[in-house]
């Protein structure tokens, strides 16, 4: 009987070892360990054994049963693992195929530049002021020390609607309006972005409509050196810490003294190249100390208050920053153009 | 203003300063030098030649065979096609090996079998602009005066090796529109002296007043008029050196008399005019306002109709010049002129500016008068020109001048304190430094304690107030030397207004949703300006548009976006989604500002989503456009207050357009562009929206109020309703929501069926309803009760039946 059990064990283990599917394994379990299986049969015949032999064979039978069960279990785990692996292998995909595109648009490059400048000045305590694009001659010119017949009106040939109403030629009327409303109540610190219009034929460097962004600071004791310092901060933050600025005398009717600001050319590092037309400098903006007539007309006492103002063109800045060669691109809105400005920049 | 470096040396010592260094210094201290040009740069090999013989080319009618002495051992043969070449002339010859503009190299050649050793040149071929070439030479070769030395370098003789500084003058620096003015500026920068021209006195027996009387009626516009008479002039070309200086300054030489007036204009900045005395037709000069409709033919042979606010010079009755702008053809100096009446006058800027603008005529004279000339150079300039006419036109200058003088030309006196200068500039300058700067400018400055009183010469009419003096100090002290500081001031809160902040949020949302921001022009055609307008208002047209294309202010943004789509589609950019925020302009009263409204518009066409290798392609449709807006309204906390109603809008698809209402007020539309418009513009199916940005930014957002997360399960019931095809799903949705009571938490539409298995004129809409009580678990009975109420309401109000 003992031999029979050992034989059964060997035979069962052999079969378990050879089993290749879970079903086969289950069949082995049923055939060896089931109620009608050979081990049960052996145990049934135990009545014929002596009292000494019975526990020995009983315990052996249990051991055999245990061993077979253990092997089946182990084999089952093996087979299950293999089945999963096989399934996963069948599920393999090509991870190099493109993912599902996430739709995303982007800001217009001019908005990008304007918001960058806005945020820079906001961090220095400026508010953003806006005003109408169609203006009164008074705010566009007269309040800015440009009376009718002033030769400087030629500098910005304008689109008039009537004798008194025109498309603003700069965003300076917003300054005039802000000052007038403000009436000497504490300091003024604003920047004014917006669209402006001039009688120019559209070509690679001219546009009858373009953007401007101007700044104005008025307080007691504002000095020209403060203007220089402010522009220095602006130039370094906007164009890079390694940039130098240079102020050149200029003329604007609403500021005195007036200057133009150049920054050192990034392309050639100041040695002179085609981008800076050999000068090593690139013109960025116009600025100056607010003309006393402008202060007085807006109700500020020019003996007590002083201020500075500056103005620049986002198109020009965008063209320099991104190397855009034709101002018309900003208004043509070719989608292949717009798509190039969607990245975040350092 | 073009400034000849060589000529400038006559008025100020430039030793040790190269043209480029000079340009840099001038730029940094006040006047932008836009360029320094030397025309002969890179050119070589052009000399003065003497035409010894000229005969017709044996084989070609239009060619001449010339024998030219170049100052070398043997004269050379040159074939020349110019009609005006002749024996005995001194001409400019590009010798073999010469390089002309455009890198044109001269080689030995054979022309119709005849050898040619070089080229006889026109001025244009040497790089001179055609518009400054004297008329005699405009279509032929240039001829040097007979005393030109054979073999001499022609570039040098023509002043082409001179460096020309191009000054970009701002309107305030009218003083620098003359060589003397530039000399003062340069003298101040370099700390050197200004050298004035020497004028010789002429005292003939006859007195000018015997020939002419001067009477000015319009004294306000013409406070000073000086007339001189020069007799027995011999008209001919002016000296070559004068011609080359004029050409280098951009002025075409004519004859000695006219050239002298232009030369002195450039030298002093004072416009002069020479009349042919014998053609004036009277012995009288009367300056008066023109009568309305009066006519004059100016020197450019154009008849001009005058207005009452134009100033004319007359002979007592007929106009002979449009004052300060251009002379009249009837009194023009010509080859037969013998007596010249020379005018030097002070006209005020306004009257000249007006005439110049009305006639579209800007001359060297008018551009100077407009900006203001120096009243103290009027007489000097006349004397200088008369002297030159004596020297270079063999004239006899009659004694004295005939003048009308009511001019008050007192120099401005401006006082300023040292403290004010330092306070404005942020500097710590000393009074001696300030005084030194004014002395360099040749402004008389008197120091009394801390105050400095400056007498500003009349040549600097731009300086009238303290700030003007501060600028002079700043620019000559140098902006490079200015300290760098930041404002020390009371801190004010900066930042964006809530409106501006929200507007940025709208943009970011739309960009996040996949739309690109566009920026378009506000000016468009009359026709497009009013299309798709949200408001009933008239459009605004410019008084003088530059083109029809940009003549009228827009009332809506949509037409501009459609143009962008058209542009892109024509360039194979098929899938586009763009938006724009910007102002539209509503006409109000004449001479009142229009109402400007900020609007938001979008346009979508082509594919919204595609993943080609997976076979996914989602074209843009109405619901894509609407979905973008719904998302935006949710973002702004307005979702619950916005409704959409079918609408019929001009230019839009009548069955695929909705009006958008916010709290019941119309704010815009969304829909498909009308197929006929699409076809006309070569667009594919295009969906647009436009709405009032102001309305949505100013609307009160629903506040964020926290609701606790439900702890109890919800129960969902789905229903499919059969209704008439016309019944709007949105209406059923509203009825369900209303009838559902407080237990009904969510309703969504999950199916729509119209088709074969449906009765004609019917459709099935399936809704999913979610019931929930946050306080406890709902029983089936409670849900059924609420749900039946919903079914009953829908049935009663829409005639809907449950789909079996």
Q: DSSP string spanning B398-456?
A: PBS-EEEE----PPEEEEEEHHHHHHHHT----HHHHHHHHHHTT-EEEEETTEEEEEE
Tokens of residue B1, six digits:
């203003």
- Nearest by Cα to B605 from B682, B680, B534, B533: B682
What kind of fold does domain B2-39+163-190 have according to CATH?
Phenylalanyl-tRNA Synthetase; Chain B, domain 1 (3.30.56)
Chain A residue with the nearest C-alpha to that of B563: A332
Chain B residue with the nearest C-alpha to that of A234: B486
Residues of chain A found within 8 Å of residue B424, distances taken between Cβ atoms? 223-224, 289, 306
Q: What are the helix (H) ranges across B494-590?
A: 498-512, 526-529, 558-569
Residues of chain A found within 8 Å of residue B568, distances taken between Cβ atoms? 333-335
Answer whether A256 sits within 8 Å of B471, measured CB to CB.
yes
Q: Specify the pLDDT at position A85.
A: 92
Answer whether A289 sits within 8 Å of B467, measured CB to CB.
yes
| Sequence-ordered list of residues with C-beta below 8 angstroms from that of B443, at least 6 positions apart, any chain | B454, B455, B456, B457, B460, B472
Chain B residue with the nearest C-alpha to that of A280: B24
Answer whether A165 sits within 8 Å of B592, measured CB to CB.
yes
Of A98, A125, A256, the CB nearest to B468: A256
Answer whether B611 sits within 8 Å of A108, measured CB to CB.
no
Residues of chain A found within 8 Å of residue B483, distances taken between Cβ atoms? 225, 228
Per domain, the residue ranges of chain B are 2-39+163-190, 44-157, 208-405, 412-476, 498-698, 715-802
Answer whether B171 sits within 8 Å of A195, measured CB to CB.
no
In this chain, the answer to whether the domains covering B44-157 and B498-698 adopt an identical fold is: no
Place of tokens 């400098």: A281
Answer whether B353 sits within 8 Å of A149, measured CB to CB.
yes
Q: Indicate the pairing of strand B444-448 with strand B143-144.
A: unpaired
In angstroms, rounded to a whole number, what is the distance separating the alpha carbons of residues B392 and B794?
107
- Nearest by Cα to B487 from A319, A126, A70: A126
Q: Specify the pLDDT at position A151.
A: 67
What are the backbone angles phi and psi of residue B322, rounded to the nearest 5°?
-90, 105
Answer whether B517 sits within 8 Å of A247, measured CB to CB.
no
Answer whether B577 sits within 8 Å of A223, measured CB to CB.
no
Binding site, annotated residues of A for Mg(2+): 256
Residues of chain B found within 8 Å of residue A111, distances taken between Cβ atoms? 507, 517, 519
Answer whether A125 sits within 8 Å of B482, measured CB to CB.
no
Answer whether B608 sits within 8 Å of A330, measured CB to CB.
no
β-sheet bridge partners, residue B168: B32
CA distance to B210, B391, B399, B638, per residue, from B206 (Å): 7, 19, 6, 94
Interface of A with B in 128-147 (CB under 8 A): 128, 130, 132-136
Taking the alpha carbons of B677, B680, B685, B691 in that order, is the dihedral positive or negative? Answer: negative
Half-sphere exposure of residue B401, counting CA atoms within 13 Å on the CB side? 22
**What single DSSP character describes residue A258?**
E
Answer whether A123 sits within 8 Å of B494, measured CB to CB.
yes
Helices (H) and strands (E) in chain A, counts: 12, 9
Q: What are the helix (H) ranges across B681-770?
A: 693-698, 729-739
Candidates 2.40.50.140, 1.20.1050.10, 1.10.10.10, 3.30.565.10; CATH matching B44-157: 2.40.50.140
Residues of chain A found within 8 Å of residue B511, distances taken between Cβ atoms? 104-107
- Nearest by Cα to A303 from B450, B428, B424: B424
A244 touches chain B (CB under 8 A): no
Cis geometry, peptide bond prior to residue A77 (ω within 30 degrees of 0)? no
In angstroms, rounded to a whole number, what is the distance separating the alpha carbons of residues B186 and A46?
132
CATH 3.30.56.10 fits B412-476, yes or no: yes
Answer whether B495 sits within 8 Å of A225, measured CB to CB.
no
Interface of A with B in 45-84 (CB under 8 A): none
User: Angle of helix B466-477 relative to helix B418-425, nearest 10 degrees?
Assistant: 60
Answer whether A251 sits within 8 Å of B496, measured CB to CB.
no
Place of tokens 């595609």: B610
Residues of chain B found within 8 Å of residue A94, distances taken between Cβ atoms? none
Candidates 3.30.390.10, 3.40.640.10, 3.30.930.10, 3.90.220.20; CATH matching B498-698: 3.30.930.10
A170 touches chain B (CB under 8 A): no
Whether the CB-CB separation of B376 and B185 falls below 8 Å is answered with no
CA distance to B16, B25, B234, B754, per residue, from B654 (Å): 81, 69, 84, 20
A328 touches chain B (CB under 8 A): no
Interface of A with B in 189-208 (CB under 8 A): 189, 195, 197, 199, 201, 208
Chain A residue with the nearest C-alpha to that of B514: A104
**pTM of the entire structure?**
0.84
Chain A residue with the nearest C-alpha to that of B582: A195
A225 touches chain B (CB under 8 A): yes
In angstroms, rounded to a whole number, what is the distance separating the alpha carbons of residues B475 and A259?
9
B193 is in an annotated binding site: no
β-sheet bridge partners, residue B322: B312, B326
Whether the CB-CB separation of B699 and B662 falls below 8 Å is answered with yes
Residue B347, min C-alpha distance to chain A (Å): 15
Of A107, A124, A151, the CB nearest to B370: A151
Q: Specify the pLDDT at position A184.
A: 62
Tokens of residue B228, six digits:
């001189």
Q: Where are the extended beta strands (E) located within chain A?
A: 127-128, 134-136, 165-167, 188-197, 209-220, 245-252, 255-264, 281-290, 305-312
In angstroms, rounded to a whole number, what is the distance separating the alpha carbons of residues A324 and A330?
9
Residues of chain B found within 8 Å of residue A256, distances taken between Cβ atoms? 465, 467-468, 470-471
Residues of chain A found within 8 Å of residue B349, distances taken between Cβ atoms? 149, 151
Answer whether A232 sits within 8 Å of B591, measured CB to CB.
no
Answer whether B426 sits within 8 Å of A224, measured CB to CB.
yes
Chain A residue with the nearest C-alpha to that of B546: A199
Residues of chain A found within 8 Å of residue B576, distances taken between Cβ atoms? 335
Answer whether A333 sits within 8 Å of B541, measured CB to CB.
no
Whether the CB-CB separation of A184 and A223 falls below 8 Å is answered with no
Of A249, A251, A338, the CB nearest to B516: A338
Q: Average pLDDT per run of 10 along chain B, which is 804 residues long?
A: 96 95 91 90 93 91 92 92 93 94 92 92 94 92 94 94 93 93 96 95 89 95 96 96 96 96 97 97 95 94 94 95 95 96 95 92 93 94 97 95 91 95 95 95 94 95 94 94 88 87 96 96 95 93 93 97 97 95 93 94 94 88 97 94 94 96 96 96 96 95 86 93 92 92 92 88 94 90 92 92 83
Q: Print pLDDT tens along chain A (346 aa).
A: 788 888 888 888 888 888 888 888 888 888 888 888 888 887 777 778 888 888 888 888 888 888 888 999 999 999 999 889 999 999 999 999 988 888 889 999 999 999 999 999 999 999 999 999 999 999 999 999 988 877 677 666 899 999 899 999 999 999 999 988 886 677 899 999 999 999 999 999 899 999 999 999 999 999 999 999 999 999 999 888 988 899 999 999 999 999 999 998 877 877 777 777 777 888 899 999 999 999 999 889 999 999 999 999 999 999 988 889 999 999 999 999 999 998 877 6
Candidates 3.10.20.340, 3.30.930.10, 3.40.50.720, 3.50.40.10; CATH matching B208-405: 3.50.40.10
Residues of chain B found within 8 Å of residue A286, distances taken between Cβ atoms? none
Q: Average pLDDT over chain B, rounded to whole? A: 94
Provide CATH code, domain B715-802. Answer: 3.30.70.380
Q: Specify the pLDDT at position A16.
A: 87
Tokens of residue B358, six digits:
């009305």
Tokens of residue A92, six digits:
């393999």
Answer whether A233 sits within 8 Å of B486, measured CB to CB.
yes
A116 touches chain B (CB under 8 A): no
Whether the CB-CB separation of B767 and B717 falls below 8 Å is answered with no
Answer whether A186 sits within 8 Å of B585, measured CB to CB.
no
Q: Where are the extended beta strands (E) located within A66-169?
A: 127-128, 134-136, 165-167
Tokens of residue A194, six digits:
């917006």
Of A220, A222, A228, the CB nearest to B482: A228
E strand or H helix at B305, and its extent?
strand B303-305
Answer whether A338 sits within 8 Å of B553, measured CB to CB.
no
A118 touches chain B (CB under 8 A): yes
């Amino acid at each position: 009987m003992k031999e029979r059990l050992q034989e059964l064990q060997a035979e069962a283990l052999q079969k378990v070892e050879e089993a290749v599917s879970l079903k086969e394994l289950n069949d082995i379990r049923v055939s060896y360990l089931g109620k009608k299986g050979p081990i049960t049969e052996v145990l049934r015949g135990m009545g014929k054994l002596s009292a000494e032999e019975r526990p020995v064979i009983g315990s052996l039978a249990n051991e055999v049963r245990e061993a077979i069960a253990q092997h089946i279990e182990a084999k089952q785990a093996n087979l299950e693992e293999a089945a999963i692996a096989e399934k996963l292998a069948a599920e393999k995909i090509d991870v190099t195929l493109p993912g599902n595109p996430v739709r995303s648009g982007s800001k217009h490059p001019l908005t990008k530049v304007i918001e960058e400048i806005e945020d820079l000045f906001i961090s220095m305590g400026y508010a953003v002021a806006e005003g109408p694009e169609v203006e009164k001659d008074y705010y566009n010119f007269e309040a800015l020390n440009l009376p009718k017949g002033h030769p400087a009106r030629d500098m910005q040939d304008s689109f008039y609607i009537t004798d008194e109403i025109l498309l603003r030629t700069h965003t300076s009327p917003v300054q005039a309006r802000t000052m007038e409303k403000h009436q000497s109540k504490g300091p003024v610190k604003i920047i004014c972005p917006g669209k402006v219009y001039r009688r120019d034929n559209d070509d690679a460097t001219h546009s009858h409509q373009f953007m401007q962004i101007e700044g104005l600071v008025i307080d007691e004791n504002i000095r020209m050196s403060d203007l220089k310092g402010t522009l220095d901060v602006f130039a370094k933050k906007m164009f890079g810490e390694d940039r130098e600025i240079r102020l050149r005398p200029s003329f604007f009717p609403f500021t005195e003294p007036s200057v133009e600001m150049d920054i050192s050319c990034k392309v050639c590092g100041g040695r002179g190249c085609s981008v800076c037309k050999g000068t090593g400098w690139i013109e960025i903006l116009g600025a100056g100390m607010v003309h006393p007539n402008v202060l007085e007309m807006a109700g500020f006492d020019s003996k007590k208050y002083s201020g500075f103002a500056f103005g620049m063109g986002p198109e020009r800045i965008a063209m320099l920053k991104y190397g855009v060669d034709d101002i018309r691109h900003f208004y043509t809105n070719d989608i292949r153009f717009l798509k190039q400005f969607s990245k975040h920049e350092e | 203003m073009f400034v000849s470096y060589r000529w400038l040396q006559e008025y100020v010592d430039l030793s040790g300063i190269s043209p480029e260094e000079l340009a840099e210094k001038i730029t940094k201290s006040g006047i932008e030098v836009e360029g320094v040009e030397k025309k002969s740069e890179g050119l070589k090999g052009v000399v003065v030649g003497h035409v010894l013989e000229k005969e017709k080319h044996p084989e070609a009618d239009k060619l001449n065979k010339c024998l030219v002495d170049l100052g070398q051992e043997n004269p050379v043969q040159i074939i020349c096609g110019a009609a005006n070449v002749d024996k005995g002339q001194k001409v400019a010859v590009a010798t073999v090996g010469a390089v002309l503009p455009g890198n044109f190299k001269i080689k030995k050649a054979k022309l119709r079998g005849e050898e040619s050793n070089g080229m006889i040149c026109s001025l244009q071929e040497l790089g001179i602009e055609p518009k400054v070439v004297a008329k005699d030479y405009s279509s032929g070769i240039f001829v040097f005066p007979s005393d030109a030395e054979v073999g001499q370098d022609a570039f040098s003789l023509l002043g082409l090796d001179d460096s020309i500084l191009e000054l970009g003058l701002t309107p305030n620096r009218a003083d620098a529109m003359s060589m003397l003015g530039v000399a003062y500026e340069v003298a101040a920068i370099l700390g050197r002296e200004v050298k004035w021209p020497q004028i010789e006195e002429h005292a003939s027996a006859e007195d000018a007043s015997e020939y002419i009387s001067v009477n000015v009626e319009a004294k306000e516009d013409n406070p000073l008029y000086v007339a001189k008479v020069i007799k027995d002039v011999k008209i001919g070309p002016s000296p070559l050196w004068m011609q080359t200086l004029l050409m280098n300054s951009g002025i075409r030489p004519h004859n000695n008399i006219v050239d002298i007036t232009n030369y002195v204009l450039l030298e002093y900045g004072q416009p002069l005019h020479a009349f042919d005395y014998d053609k004036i037709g009277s012995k009288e000069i009367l300056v008066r306002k023109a009568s309305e409709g009066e006519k004059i033919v100016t020197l450019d042979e154009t008849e001009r109709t005058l207005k009452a606010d134009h100033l004319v010079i007359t002979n007592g009755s007929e106009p002979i010049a449009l004052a300060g702008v251009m002379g009249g053809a009837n009194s023009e100096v010509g080859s037969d002129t013998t007596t010249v009446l020379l005018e030097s006058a002070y006209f005020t800027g306004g009257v000249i500016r007006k005439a110049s603008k009305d006639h579209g005529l800007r001359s060297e004279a008018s551009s100077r008068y407009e900006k203001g000339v120096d009243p103290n150079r009027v007489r000097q300039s006349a004397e200088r020109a008369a002297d030159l006419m004596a020297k270079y036109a063999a004239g006899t200058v009659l004694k004295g001048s005939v003048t009308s003088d009511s001019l008050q030309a007192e120099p401005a006196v401006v006082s300023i304190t040292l403290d004010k200068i330092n306070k404005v500039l942020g500097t710590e300058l000393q009074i001696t430094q300030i005084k030194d700067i004014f002395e360099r400018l040749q402004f008389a400055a008197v120091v009394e304690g801390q105050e400095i009183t400056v007498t500003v010469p009349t040549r600097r009419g731009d300086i009238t107030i303290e700030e003007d003096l501060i600028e002079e100090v700043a620019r000559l002290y140098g902006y490079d030397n200015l300290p760098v500081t930041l404002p020390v001031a009371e801190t004010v809160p900066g930042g964006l207004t809530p409106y501006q902040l929200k507007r940025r949020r709208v943009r970011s949302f739309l960009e996040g949703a996949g739309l690109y921001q566009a920026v378009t022009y506000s000016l468009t055609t009359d026709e497009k300006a009013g299309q798709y307008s949200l408001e009933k208002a008239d459009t605004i047209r410019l008084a003088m548009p530059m083109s029809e294309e940009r003549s009228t202010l827009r009332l809506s943004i949509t037409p501009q976006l459609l143009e962008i789509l058209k542009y892109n589609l024509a360039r194979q950019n098929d899938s586009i989604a763009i938006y724009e925020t910007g102002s539209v302009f509503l006409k109000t009263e004449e001479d009142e500002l229009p109402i400007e409204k900020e609007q938001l518009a979008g346009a979508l066409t082509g594919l919204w989503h595609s993943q080609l290798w997976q076979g996914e392609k989602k074209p843009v449709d109405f619901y894509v456009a609407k979905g973008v807006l719904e998302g935006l309204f949710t973002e702004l906390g307005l979702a619950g207050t916005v409704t959409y109603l079918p609408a019929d809008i001009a230019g839009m698809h009548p069955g695929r357009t909705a009006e958008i209402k916010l709290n019941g007020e119309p704010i815009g539309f969304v829909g498909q562009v009308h197929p006929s418009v699409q076809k006309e513009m070569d667009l594919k199916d295009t969906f647009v929206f436009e709405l009032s940005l102001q309305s949505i930014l100013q609307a009160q957002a629903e506040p964020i109020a926290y609701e606790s997360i439900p702890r109890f399960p919800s129960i969902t019931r789905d229903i499919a309703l059969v209704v008439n095809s016309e019944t709007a799903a949105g209406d059923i949705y509203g009825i369900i929501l209303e009838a559902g009571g407080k237990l009904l938490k969510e309703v969504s539409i999950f199916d729509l069926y119209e088709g074969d298995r449906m009765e004609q004129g019917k459709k099935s809409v399936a809704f999913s309803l979610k019931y929930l009580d946050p306080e406890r678990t709902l029983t089936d009975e409670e849900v059924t009760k609420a749900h039946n109420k919903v079914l009953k309401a829908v049935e009663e109000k829409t005639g809907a039946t449950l789909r079996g």
